[in-house]
Amino acid sequence: MRRDIVGEVFDYQVLLDALAGYRKPRDRITRLLASGAIVRVKKGLYCFGEAFRKEPLSREHLANLIYGPSYVSLEYALSHHGLIPERVETVTSVTTRRSRDFNTPFGTFAYRMLKTPRYAVGAILETAGKTPFLIASPEKALADMVWTDKRFSGLRVSDYDAYLSDDLRIDREALSRFDCSRLQVIAAAYDSAKINNLVRYLKRFKETPHA
């Protein structure tokens, strides 16, 4: 079976096809699960057990597959890009579907809904080893975070300094490397005063000398 399945993560139909030579493939699946040869990530989605993997399992890649369309963003992406000091255990993503959380053997995966125009910009392709996954750019991850954080109104540009520094603990050196033109494209897709104010704040921040 390992020879018949490419990759570490696969769906139910791929698994059935790989077990087509068995008289009772569903019984075989039950035994494979019990032995740990395969692991059920969620209904219809499986991966090989650790002893049978050819590559380390990428939680970011899993996040793309568990619920889609989606890509990693928000707190997890901010941590991944080195923008916040905290290690984030829940893999957070944005999606065009309704918001949902999934508890799996590989941790919690949280998805927050964005309207399609807001979702459609700002994703980049990265790899973990040989495994590709979609993740928000640093600029998009921050915009998504600002937008989805209902505790923060963002009515004034002056509100952003304390919010980014104290509430989110965004690394100011990393913030100085943000691409304003990229963030403007994201803001145009958002069509929101809250994200427009984020762009205005970032431009002022980059124009101000910092020790």
Residue 74 located in a structural domain: yes
Residues 154, 173 within the same domain = yes
* pLDDT at position 52: 92
For residue 76, give Cα distances in angstroms to 13, 60, 170, 201, 202: 30, 9, 13, 23, 21
Reading across the β-sheet that carries 38-42, which strands appear in turn? 9-11, 45-48, 38-42
The CA-CA-CA angle for residues 152, 173, 73, to 5°, reads 50
Number of domains in the chain: 2
This prediction has a pTM of 0.94
Contact between residue 96 and residue 115 where contact means Cβ atoms under 8 Å apart: yes
Residue 2 located in a structural domain: no
Residue 211 confidence class, pLDDT cut points 50, 70, 90 = low
- CA 9/CA 120 separation, integer angstroms: 25
Residues 141, 167 within the same domain = yes
Backbone angles phi, psi at 108, to 5 degrees: -95, 135
Percent of all residues in the chain with a pLDDT value above 70, rounded to a whole number: 99
Residues 76, 170 within the same domain = yes
- CA 112/CA 122 separation, integer angstroms: 15
Residue 165 located in a structural domain: yes
Residues 105, 66 within the same domain = yes
Residues 24, 66 within the same domain = no
Residues 26, 71 within the same domain = no
Residue 3 located in a structural domain: no
Kindly state the average pLDDT of the residues 15-19: 93
Residues 27, 80 within the same domain = no
Residue 131 β-bridge partners: 128
Domain boundary among 22, 37, 52: 52
Kindly state the average pLDDT of the residues 29-46: 97
Residues 112, 29 within the same domain = no
Residue 1 located in a structural domain: no
Residues 76, 169 within the same domain = yes
**Between 89 and 206, residue with greater pLDDT:** 89
Give tens-digit pLDDT for 157-195.
999 999 999 999 999 999 999 999 999 999 999 999 999
Q: Does the pLDDT value for residue 210 go beyond 80?
A: no
Q: Does the pLDDT value for residue 155 go beyond 60?
A: yes
As to burial, measured by CB atoms within 10 angstroms (0-12 exposed, 13-18 middle, 19+ buried), residue 71 is buried
* pLDDT, mean over the chain: 95
Structure tokens that stand for 9 in this block = 């993560």
Residues 136, 192 within the same domain = yes
Residues 139, 184 within the same domain = yes
Give tens-digit pLDDT for 83-138.
999 899 999 999 999 999 999 999 999 999 999 999 999 999 999 988 999 999 99
Residue 70 confidence class, pLDDT cut points 50, 70, 90 = very high
Q: Which domain holds residue 31?
A: 9-52
Residue 4 located in a structural domain: no
Nearest to 165 by CA among 99, 93, 83: 83
